[in-house]
Structure 1
Amino acid sequence: MLPSLDALVDNSNNTLEDVYKTVVPECEEIRIATGYFYLSGFNLFKEDLENLRNPEELEHAPFRILMGRKTDQRTVDEVSEGQTLREQFEQEVKEDVEELNNAQIERLDRLRDFIAEGLVDVRVRNPDSGYFHAKGASFRGATDDPSLRNGDRDQRGAVTIVGSSNFSQSGHRHNVELNLTSQNGSDAEAFEEWYDNQWANGEEFSEEIINIIEETDRYQQWKEQQDEDDDEVEDEVDIGTYLEPFEMYKLLAYDELNGNVSIRDSPLYYFQTLGYESAKTKLSQYDGCIISDSVGLGKSFIGSELLYDYREQGDRCLLIVPANLTDQWRDLLQDATDEDGDPFFGLEVDGKHLQVMSISKFQNLTYDEVNALDDRFNVVLIDEAHRFRNHGKWNPNPVDDDDYTGTRRHANARLLRKNTMIMLTATPINNSATDLKNLIGLFTDENELMNKASLKFSAFDDYIDLAAERKRIAAGKEEATEQEQRQMTEKLKRHSDEISEILNEVMVLRTRKHVKETLTDQDDFDMSFKPPELNKEQYSLPPAYQPIYRMLPDVMDALHLPHITIKNPQAGGTLKALYKLNLLKRLESSTYAFVQSVQTLHESERSLLGFLDGLPDDEDIDVLRTMGDDAAETTLEDFVEGEEAAEDVEQTLEEFGFDSGALQADGGDADDELADATVGEVKTYIHEDLTLLAYFLSRFIGRVARDSGSIADMEVRAGTVAR
């Protein structure tokens, strides 16, 4: 039975590539009609043609492709010069082959084999008979019951797809297309009757494709390299040679361990090795997993051991980590040693084969820059992956750097979904099941979970919707009988169990208690789970600081900060609060850091005032916003000192349940005091801020330096002297 499909496929929420990957492996007969058959389109099928019927039984190939060809002014010119349409078409196919990479050439070699074996047949509709622009397909499900296909009516499972997508990688994956699907037998019969009539009028082209493939320089180079690799393997293994029993044992052990053998001693403890092995199993199944052991159990060591394996295989690895952990990760991977001086991992972080990048830098990359990373790397490890829990997605073929919905951080991560994805987080869920759904969706989807584990990814949405409904009932916004509420609770329990099964499938999640039970005598590891002892400490502020701290809340509240609101009308109020939070964080760091931040604020507002002095006072401030439409919006890095400081503020926000990456995605801001302001009024706000800052700084620096006594803050004194 063929799987159920969405009625409409437009490559946004689901792609035609995903539909084909789901349907093709279950089919015994396939018909494809396409305006043009780009060779990249066949990459999408991989090895999933095992169920195709025997061509001798069918008396034709079970997989047929009927295509048109491109017609443009170039074609017209070349035909007028004596080159036939067929010759021009052959030339276009040759050019396609020359542009393919090694992975695509390997798929192309399979296409050549399928054609040679009679499984795939290709025909061309000559434009002389009318430009063939049809795009559709029909699929018939595999069956062991001949009566289903040989009766008066074909009763095999059927899928029919008709729409705008060509048989190409972009048509199946990237372009915004419109394709309708049907699983109605009558629709399939109508399409097949039309298709078979068109097929009968098509010209054979399979033999030419084989010849073109084999004659291109690109394919011949790839084939020579394959032959050389095969020769090397043959040289290494002399088949038929007698092996001593111990040598045979080593070969069998190597095969059983999937080649994962090394003279190197792993730095992992036994309980970490269990987590590492579990992660490897999940990675082999889904090409991604979430490692979510409790804090202090060595997730970074498990992740590093996985990276070591991938680097041994020649894969290029990208780490995306908090800015304040970039040096720590480089040291762990490259320089950290055990007590004997032997490196734990000894990997070279060279930026080419292994690169460490901060989350803040990654989230600000453009669409093209992230796609370039996607081409460079095979494996991605994300530390503190819970920071990617808020959904985001680039629009198809984005027109600029802001052409995305949701958070840019998550949108960028989605572009790396083709890579192996390792995610480390001790807090995979913050507020709701939506967080988990968004994280898991970075490396798998509903089709893969259903096909490989018979699990419904929709359990997340069902749970989320039902929980929201119950919350409305509890708040008195909706009504429900006691029986309905009991049924709702039962459904929530069922969906919760389904989600737990999904987590077991894709996540390594162990508590400290569980790990303590798995410790062995060989683990030289002292693990104590005693709760920390809290000691109440009494302290009072020195006299020099007390008036300043009493004044501080009023000063923070009075600041207008128009330079932030002007650049960010959508989230200005939130960013202003964030700015003030950062000032307090800088004061917590040191008085000198606080003074430096205030100075930066002072300079920003004076710069804005200088710009406004050239505008009429009665001009509406929206004019200034219009002038600044092309300017980049403010981010954390615009008003904090350094990348680590930005990460520090983000961490603080997340502790309170906020995500700074989602601020600009949240829509309008009700607290915009500049909504109806004029240029003159904004100037007044700036003057008030500058006066307040000058007064506060004079009180702050002067009083601390004058009345500090024995608790002098040398940083403030140094700053005062420097001025």
Structure 2
Amino acid sequence: MPQHDIIDNRNEKLVEHINRVLASSASARFAVGYFFLSGFTSIAERLQNLKELRLLIGNTTNRETLEQLVEGHNRLESARDALEAETFRTRSEVKQIADDAATRLRTSMESMDQTEENAALVHTLARMIAEQRLKVRIYTKGRLHAKAYVFDYGEVFDSAGKSMDRHERGLAIVGSSNLSLAGVSHNTELNVIVQGNANHAELACWFDALWEESQDFDEALMHEMRQSWAMAEVRPYDIYMKTLYTLVRDRLEGEAARVLWNDDIMQQLADFQKVAVQQAIAMIRQYRGAFVADVVGLGKSYIGAAIVKHFERTEHARPLIICPAPLVEMWEGYNETYHLNARVLSMGYLHANEEGGFHALLEDRKYRERDFVLIDESHNFRHSDTQRYKVLQTFLQEGKRCCLLTATPRNKSAWDVYNQIKLFHQEDRTELPIDPPDLREYFKRIEAGERKLPDLLYHLQIRRLRKHVLRWYGFAADTRRPLREMSAEAVQPYLAESQSAYVMVAGKPQFFPRRELETVEYSIEQTYRGLYQQLRGYLGKSREAQSTRRPANELCYARYGLWHYVVPAKRRQEPYASLQRAGVNLCGLMRILLFKRFESSVYAFRETIRRLLHVHELFLAALQRGTVATGEAAQSALYKAGEIWSDDLFVELQETSQEYSASD
């Protein structure tokens, strides 16, 4: 025990002295400027045995102060100028003070942290008020600057259980500390223990005089506590809403401005793009990767560039951008314009060859030390058995973070998505909130129809349609009214594009292109004057109706009838034997397709022929290099290829076309 009566919260903590005195007290009177729940928490256990606690709280017109009455975790940031004391108040003014306090209590109770500790506090307060052991009043005649803790000792008994007289009636602590966690234990405060019966009696009289001049508040406090989350009966709906909020709070849009730098690129983005940047950042930080999968035309590349810039600036990331060869120039431009500090690499380098493409990514320091990877057109990595996939997965196995840009993460199978996720989430065991918590098992259940892919992608993907963007970020061109403020019925003309709507991009209105289709009617016979019959001859007849000899001017559909070009010795061996029936079916389907395109319009027919001619030329070029470009992945690569043959295309065809040998 110290040899002095000074409490400074450095060597001597006020909370320890209060708890020590409460242990031997029957009742207490506290006069404080502000009451904080944090301060009540530190002494709540010792209050259980008190017969009575009278709490006198100072009044202030400051909103934050009254919220502190119950919240207990917000303290005044700085001292306010002392309010001029008002000795007299009208009855209506006094009532208004109490009403305002109750209203603010309600608001502050709603904003309290919903913890078990705070709930227990509220229940303790309510029980003490109900038992009339806690009485609360507000001093309404100005601010209560003084802080005093007056304790009345309880009875003591001898060994026979007989009451004994005590020399001291109690003691008091007077000083600067409010009843708050900081006030009783942390702040640099100065308080003094006041001993002696005369001092105790004088302080008790001082307190009682102020108490009589104060306004009752315990009933109002009790009412608000009964209505609060801590005491009100919880409905299933409340649990549902709390769960829903907990699940989606990281994706709420209101905080975007707080976490994003106002860089040049951010100034170029629309609000819906900024939201995507914020959400993707949160996903990448939590799961090390995310898909930005907005439909075509919503600016995925700008969103991706902003994400790269954010990590480069805030976390000093060293970005690497991997993209198809035709997009390298675009990304080099973004890198230069927005100072992304990134390396840009064509997908064509992600393969093992004699030139060392494999080592260029894995061993060259300018790539090897890159720790944030953006993959544009990431659907090119939906097949895990290709060389480029294996090289990239090896490069990413050290836990590098990824942002994947693609409008079509899923092509034919959910496993397309699985393979892309496995680039940045290479272990099947996962912390994603899915059941079972194993990626491979979960995708097996998706394939079996027992699970849904969107339930998983919700945590890893941002995907919006154009209608969604207009609905929630668009403005009516005629009234400039936000579409999100309109009813579902009123907004339909804008979503259907019968009325114009725009989004704000870089502070300027931008309109999505509007499709305006016109029907043109014509007669095939009058238009083509016999050309139709001539083209029918070129396209040929169905296989069943054909003679053994094909007319010289009829298409043979060679690329779809590969069985006829297999060396005779292997035609009856697999995988070539099945080509005979498949070839018949494919030739028939292509013939029907060409007829439909011709009947649609001359332009459609011409474009189809032009595209097929280009694909056939690419097919022959690959064949001359020893690759038979067949299979779903190879066909997709052929149709997506540019007008010029590229090494990237050949590598992709080589990786995806290994079923048939050109020598056969």
Using the size of structure 2 for normalisation, the TM-score is: 0.29
Q: Which structure: larger Rg?
A: 2
Using the size of structure 1 for normalisation, the TM-score is: 0.26
The structure that is helix-richer by fraction is 1
